[in-house]
Amino acid sequence: MTRRIRLLVRTATPADETVIAALHTESWRQSYRGALPDEYLDGALAKDMRERWQARFSAPQPGWLVLVAMLDGTFAGFFAAGPDPQDPGCDLIDNLHVRP
């Protein structure tokens, strides 16, 4: 018997801020270990990510899109894209993080 998986991708809301910041923090801890100081990754990073996402949701910038992926009703990842500050005619993918 094949197991059916339900994937839902939707626009992120301020209610997603905490899970997005937590996944973003964990992803950086795994990906940037050795490139950034351990003290930062294990310390201030979590606060910085919470503040980053709080600011992004409390004062949305024009042209930005943040999506979340829900797998069987559970948060599975997020995507953020918006205008490229280096090239105003283009957009860029700023974040793409998923749970392992």
Tens place of pLDDT for every residue, the chain, 100 residues? 788 889 999 999 999 999 999 999 999 999 999 999 999 999 999 999 999 999 999 999 999 999 999 999 999 999 999 999 899 889 999 999 999 8
Residue 1 lies in a domain: no
The domain of 65 spans 7-95
The total number of structural domains in the chain stands at 1
Domain-embedded: residue 100: no
SS3 letters across the chain: CCCCCCEEEEECCHHHHHHHHHHHHHHHHHHCECCECHHHHHCHHHHHHHHHHHHHHHCCCCCCEEEEEEECCEEEEEEEEEEECCEEEEEEEEEEEECC
We report the CATH number of the domain holding residue 86 as 3.40.630.30
The verdict on residue 61 lying in a domain is yes
**Mean pLDDT for all residues in the chain:** 95
